[in-house]
Amino acid sequence: MPMPADAMLRWTCCLCASVGQVIHTLPEGEPVRGVTSLADEVYVLRVKVTLLGLYVRHQVDVHDVTNYRLQRRLAVPNLRGFNDMTSCEHYRCVYIADHIDECIHRLDVQGAPIATTRWAVNDKPAGLSVNAAHNVLVTCRLVRKIKEFSSHGDLLRELTLPDDVINPRHAIQTLNSEFIVCHGGDDDAVHRVCKIRADGRHVIKSHGGQRGSDICQYHGPRHLTVDNNEFVFVADIGNRRVTLLSPMLDYIRQVVSRVDLKWFPSRLCLDIHRRRLYVTDNKWQDYKYTAGRVVVFSV
């Protein structure tokens, strides 16, 4: 029998009294633009730019999930830009969004050698997620669309988001096919997390509004992840925190605050089985990211 909504909320509030505990911090290094977990490993997408800005190197650092030791490094061929990374347990692969070439890179990381393929998005991808059908959802910020692809790059559908969902950064799909979308850019007045109907046409519920720092406001909601009960974690980059919302987008609490971070959070990954929340923490200096790390929280 399903747990009643009010009981689930009380249970979650009790559970969250102990969340947000730092259990490990991966070493500082190049800026981190993506983090995901697959099987018994954590994948961290890093970038290095020379002083003259003439050469950019992307690599994926692979750590084990027990003691977070570095296991190996994967070079991604022909990767020129990067916005996000996610993984799929079903197909045992990792996806990386490339905003310069407007494509998605697929890495079949469980074999040897690593097999890599790519497919065109034909718009700049901003965020990635995988839905229950094992398809890839690509959020395209500039055109306000969600594009759904098969694991091998077949375009299955495009959804244009409502007019008031401006600068969408990341989208995930719930088990009943609705979408959770975070949106709001630096110059936008409204910064929210929205629940959107399955056809993409109407906002059902939202959390946030005018940009700000109060508990029900955001200053740059950048990335989302959900647990197996569809509670929503939101990376709020400008306020330097991670907020927890109920499945109906009601505020529960902060699970990560600025005192837990050294810099700015922009990407999240939740290992549901181990209850580990991975948060990227990047240094912003001279209008660019100059260093980064991943902080691991127990949730």
- The CA-atom distances, in angstroms, between 184 and each of 210, 213, 288 are 10, 14, 19
Check for a shared fold between 24-159 and 161-284: yes
Structure confidence by residue, pLDDT tens digits, 112-122: 677 889 999 99
Domain boundaries, the chain: 24-159, 161-284
Residue with tokens 């949730």: 299
Predicted TM-score of the model (pTM): 0.91
Cα separation of 3 and 52, whole Å? 57
Structure confidence by residue, pLDDT tens digits, 34-84: 999 999 999 999 987 655 555 556 689 999 999 999 999 888 877 777 889
Cα separation of 218 and 224, whole Å? 13
- The separation between the first and the last C-alpha atoms of the chain, rounded to the nearest angstrom, is 25
**Domain 161-284 class, CATH top level:** mainly beta
Structure confidence by residue, pLDDT tens digits, 118-163: 999 999 999 999 999 999 999 999 999 999 999 999 999 999 999 9
Helix (H, G, I), strand (E, B) or coil at 153: coil
CB 190 within 8 A of CB 210: yes
Structure confidence by residue, pLDDT tens digits, 96-111: 999 999 999 999 987 6
CATH code, residues 24-159: 2.120.10.30
Cα separation of 207 and 228, whole Å? 20
